[in-house]
Amino acid sequence: MAAAQDTQKEHSDRQGRKNTLVFKLGDQILLNANNLPTQAVSAVGSTKLRPRFVGPFTVIGVHGHAYTLDLPSSMATHPTFYVGLLKPYRPAGAAEPEEPTASQNTAERHSPSSERDLPREAGQAQEPEPIRSTSRYAASLLRLQVTQPVVQIT
């Protein structure tokens, strides 16, 4: 029995835990909405449309791997949750500036070099290229007739 327990402990220690986050009192966090009552999370009755995480909530107590949150009284839920159901809250304005994406880089690379290299005057705006419709094609999708124009950028 002891040998089996030692083997299980070795495997568990090697694998580790998935969520090893530690929060402090006053931290803003998001709560996983999986096990919360639907009416406590969203006004929409469907579980498909409700958010995955709700919050942010403030940590008001720490109990080992469980955290007590400052929940509104309208949620009517016990306020203590395991760390696996929590994730740190990052405000939208606090995000770091992103590097250009691969699609932006390829668009820049495929644009004609003459357009990029031409000097522009202060009041001169770049004229958009004309879009011309050449034909239309119809596709049947689940017994619905969908007509889309085929455009050619000149």
For residue 57, the tally of other CB atoms under 10 A from its CB is 22
**pLDDT at residue 110 in the model:** 52
pLDDT for 84-142, tens place per residue?
889 999 887 765 545 555 555 555 555 555 555 555 566 666 666 666 655 655 555 55
The pLDDT score that the predictor gives to residue 25 is 92
* 62 — pLDDT class (breaks 50, 70, 90): very high
Rounded Cα distance between 138 and 152, Å, is 17
- At 41, list the tokens: 């999370």
68, pLDDT greater than 60: yes
**Looking at the DSSP assignment, which residues form a beta bridge with residue 53?**
32
The two structure tokens encoding residue 35: 């096990």
Q: Given this model, what pLDDT does residue 43 score?
A: 67
The pTM assigned to this predicted structure is 0.49
Provide the sign of the torsion angle of the four alpha carbons 81, 86, 88, 91, taken in this order: negative
* pLDDT for the residue numbered 91: 84
Query: Domains in the chain and their CATH numbers?
Result: 2-92 (2.30.30)
In DSSP terms, 133 is beta-bridged to 151
Q: Are 59 and 20 in contact (CB under 8 A)?
A: no
Task: Give the whole-angstrom CA distance, residue 16 versus residue 94.
Answer: 31
Return the pLDDT at 14. 72
Work out the pLDDT band at 64, boundaries 50, 70, 90.
confident
**Position 74 pLDDT exceeds 90:** no
| DSSP line for 2-28 | HHHHHHHHHHHHHH--S------TT-E
